[in-house]
Amino acid sequence: MNDRESLKKFYEQVGEKYPEEEQVYSTLRGMLRRRFVVSKLSGFSGSLLDIGCNRGMYLRIYTGGPRFGIDLSSSVLKKAGGNNGIHYAVADAEFLTCFRPASFDNVLCSEVLEHCLNPQAVFDGIARVLNPNGSALLTTPNYGRKRPHWIGLGILENYAVETDCAKGYYHTAYHPSELAEMAHRAGLTVVQIGTLEKEIKYATKIPVVLLLTGRMVNRIFRSKRFQKWNERVFEKLSILLYRICYITGLDKYLSNLVPNGVRSYIVMQKTTENPE
């Protein structure tokens, strides 16, 4: 089985077994990410293609025009429910040739690029399917000193997700400048780059100590129930501390002390001079 077949098999499992939208967007990271993406989408108008749409959360929110979503996993698209005027299709982010050139006014690609074996192909595909003057938003994990490539299954193990690779599954990260380089190579104009989720770096300082302590204790008991409880406490405390900082106004001061967030983003445009 080649890498692409393994990738397809893995994400079919994830789509079938893992309730990603419920799990991710109940965490502080997910809440901050959703708020950021929705704020950017509010400035878009016209048709929208969501690459790696999962069950279509952002498409359900978007009101600027016709909505289209693709995902590698057919099993997750089956869970999208009634289409509510949204058109879904099984497709690979690295092979957007299933669409005609200049098919969409806007493109969203959030938390997908880090799973792709050929990231430049994703940017090339976005440039191809965008209409002239169309806009695209892409987000991906950021990294510090060392770029990750493979990570363990983590919480996915609780949902009986398996992988053929002993290293786990492919999950890398990019600095904003690296996203800009790929955008330029694709012929796209960079409108804005930066990082987000700075709040994670101060709101999780105390909760992460408790989380790691709980993990050490659980090495003895090896209890999945305790593991879930420990992670749930971490997320609840992180959200609580963030809200306290937000209400008191400390968040603005603390965010200024954080140079980079844990996630990178880029807003791009296909100008009339960009090649199709």
Strand partners, 264: 140, 195
Same domain, 50 and 141: yes
pLDDT at res. 84:
79
Half-sphere exposure of 13 (CA within 13 A, CB side): 17
Same domain, 17 and 140: yes
Tell me which residue of 139, 140, 134, 138 sits closest to 65, measured CA to CA: 134
Rounded CA-CA distance 157/10 in Å is 12
Same domain, 33 and 141: yes
pTM for this model (two decimals): 0.93
Q: How far apart are the first and last CA of the chain?
A: 34
SS3 (DSSP) at 260: coil
Same domain, 169 and 183: yes
Q: Note the pLDDT tens digit of each residue in 140-189.
A: 999 998 999 989 988 898 899 998 877 889 999 999 999 999 999 999 99
Within-domain flag for 275: no
Phi and psi torsions of 56, nearest 5°:
85, 30
Same domain, 218 and 172: no
Distances (CA, A) of 144 to 120, 150, 220, 263: 21, 15, 31, 11
Which 8-state DSSP code applies to residue 235? H
Q: Note the pLDDT tens digit of each residue in 249-273.
A: 999 999 999 999 999 999 999 987 5
Phi and psi torsions of 10, nearest 5°:
-65, -50
Range of the domain at 31: 3-198+260-270
